[in-house]
Amino acid sequence: MAASPGAVSPVSATASSPTLEVRNLQTHFFTRAGVVKAVDGVSFTVGRGKVMGLVGESGSGKTVTGFSILGLVDEPGRIVGGEILFHGQNLARLKEEEMRQLRGNRIAMIFQDPMMTLNPVLRVDTQMIETVLAHTKVSKEEARQRARDTLGMVGIPSPDERLKSYPHQFSGGMRQRVAIAIALLHRPELIVADEPTTALDVTIQAQILAEVQKLCAQTGTAMIWITHDLTVVAGLADELAVMYAGRVVEHGPVNGTLDKPLHPYTMGLIGSVPSRNKRGEPLRQIPGMTPSLLNLPVGCAFRTRCPKAQDKCQQDPPLGELLPGRRARCFFPYNMPAEAAA
């Protein structure tokens, strides 16, 4: 497969600078009922070849964070503050045409529902070739060749034949492979994967996770893996950011965070995962519902559902570094050394 000229940026040669650095990102939706702060001051970095897990319930702002990075936030939403630094270049300030040249080329996205992401009336080859031609000046034949090679790479048998098929002739797992192949066409430096395995069978899910991991390691692609499924990120991600009501409430390396969570919300999420060790016990769940973003509690947004909440939680807790490399937005965290000693 010929390397695309746009794929390797001169800036990415400096190994020390992270591929993506999000600083205090704020994406708000200006609805008739009021301003919805879907993403409210989110910061994280993703290095070359690293996988960042972005975890949270529905409506916690994970997907909007992903769309913000690609510049795909639609009306009435708008990025109102913060920086999205891609190799030091602020994407939030980029003109639409400059952003379009990055999308699908150096930054790619994989969507949640493979049944919905491919256009039903266009053949797979059309949808792949147009992606190649949008960013590189090659002949249609070369573009088809690259499409076929990439389909083979993601494990689609007899890619030549499959190129001529329509999306409805593929199973869900195969469609997601096609979508992943489209994302990989230009060997992007960053992939935003928005719950790409949620709609798939567990066996297919495992296969796709393994493939994606392999491909990322091979190409040095950085990845943001958005999910609500802790078991998926456990085996995949290097770092973890847990989002709640538009904010990161806990951030740290994946193992430490899952073994000894600091924030009560993370604790609740882990507690609600079914496991063999808890056979026979009723599944624990976090009481209450995700609050409406239009009407958040004052102070800590989680306090109305939190078992440890006290009067102090009516103030806004900062995202502080509570342990080395571990940050959480909580006044009364779990698993602190002092608490363990007591």
Partner 1 sequence: MSVYLLRRLLQSVLVMLAMSVIVFVGVFAIGDPVEILISPDADQMERERAIKALGLDLPLWMQYLSFLGNALRGDLGRSFVFNEPALQLILQRMPATLELALGATIMALIIGLPLGLYAGLKPKSPLSSTIMAGSILGFSLPTFWVGLMLIMVFAVQLGWLPSTGRGPTVEVLGMRWSFLTWDGLRHLAMPALNLALFKISLVIRLTRAGVRETMLMDYVKFARAKGLSPARVTYVHVFKNILIPVVTVVGLELGSTIAFSVVTESVFAWPGMGKLIIDSINVLDRPVIVAYLMMIVLMFITINLLVDLAYSALDPRVRLENK
Residues making contact with partner 1 (CB under 8 A): 70, 72, 100-105, 108-109, 111-113, 116-123, 127, 130-131, 134-135, 166, 168, 179, 182
Place of tokens 């995949």: 236
Are the beta carbons of 236 and 51 closer than 8 angstroms? Answer: yes
Which residue number, 102 or 313, has a Cβ lying nearer to partner 1? 102
Which residue number, 166 or 331, has a Cβ lying nearer to partner 1? 166
In the complex, minimum distance from the CB of residue 99 to partner 1, in angstroms, rounded to a whole number: 9
In the complex, minimum distance from the CB of residue 244 to partner 1, in angstroms, rounded to a whole number: 25
In the complex, minimum distance from the CB of residue 191 to partner 1, in angstroms, rounded to a whole number: 11
What are the backbone angles phi and psi of residue 312, rounded to the nearest 5°? -60, -25
Tokens of 88: 């030091």
Give the integer Cα–Cα distance in Å for 265 and 287.
11
Give the integer Cα–Cα distance in Å for 45 and 18.
7
Give the integer Cα–Cα distance in Å for 108 and 188.
6
In the complex, minimum distance from the CB of residue 75 to partner 1, in angstroms, rounded to a whole number: 9
In the complex, minimum distance from the CB of residue 121 to partner 1, in angstroms, rounded to a whole number: 5
Which residue number, 97 or 311, has a Cβ lying nearer to partner 1? 97
| 239-244 and 247-253 beta bridge pairing | antiparallel
The residue type at 113: D
Using alpha carbons, list the distances in angstroms from residue 141 to 132, 137, 167, 283.
Answer: 11, 12, 21, 55
By the 10 Å C-beta count (0-12 exposed, 13-18 middle, 19+ buried), 158 is classed as exposed
Which residue number, 120 or 282, has a Cβ lying nearer to partner 1? 120
Which residue number, 111 or 244, has a Cβ lying nearer to partner 1? 111
In the complex, minimum distance from the CB of residue 112 to partner 1, in angstroms, rounded to a whole number: 8
Which residue number, 182 or 236, has a Cβ lying nearer to partner 1? 182
Are the beta carbons of 262 and 330 closer than 8 angstroms? Answer: yes
